[in-house]
Amino acid sequence: MQLFVGLGNPGRAYARNRHNIGFMAVEAIAREHATPPFRKAFQGACSEGRLGDDRVALLLPLTFMNESGRAVGEACRFFKLEPRNVTVFHDELDLAPSKLRIKSGGGNAGHNGLRSISAHIGNDYKRVRLGIGHPGDKALVYSYVLSDFAKSEMAWVQALCDALARNASLLAKGDDAGLQNKIHLAMEAAGFAGDNRE
């Protein structure tokens, strides 16, 4: 059993925010793999299904970003999961838009959602970092992440989430390099140049 967690803020007002790309990614995985409708559980919304041979719970914390760890901790206790069985999908300021990187453990780079999760379950979980770019000035970060993706950006957001959803079974079985390569090829084919490989 694995737990895939999308980070974001609940409610329609936040739905297209850059900070919510983690929600978008996990919702795309649910659609692609036809998991049952999300239901309220663990201070969030949860769905369970299979990605290839692996059973996976999909969780969208509804606690707001800064308290995401409460939902993740509750789900981990219920499913009796170690941090190594948890994968968190989140926005990444330090990656260019449309880029994806995967890492296990490490620091939280000022991301309040990750900080909250680490406080509840420790640091040894996997992070799928979804690049949203940086506004160029630290003072602008707060308003930047809480602003909506521009209409012109939604094409790459959709392409990235769809490619991730199609290949999520690679992530479930631990083939992180294989997933990054598939994402790179898919984004290149969709006309979004750049390198998503290791």
Exposed/middle/buried for 7, CB within 10 Å: 0-12, 13-18, 19+?
A: buried
* Cα separation, 92 vs 151, whole angstroms: 19
- Which pair of structure tokens corresponds to residue 84? 């190594």
Closest C-alpha to 21, from 144, 134, 139, 149: 149
Give the Cβ contact number of residue 159 at 10 Å.
18
**Which of 168, 132, 184 has its CA nearest to residue 192?**
184
45 strand-pairing partners: 40, 60
Q: Which residue has the tokens 């392409």?
A: 159
Task: Give the chain's length.
Answer: 198
Please name which of 190, 198, 133 lies closest in space to residue 161, comparing C-alpha atoms: 190
Could you tell me whether strands 126-131 and 100-104 are parallel, antiparallel, or unpaired per DSSP bridges? antiparallel
Is-catalytic flag, 184? no
Which of 19, 33, 111, 184 is catalytic? The answer is 19
Write out the catalytic residue numbers: 19
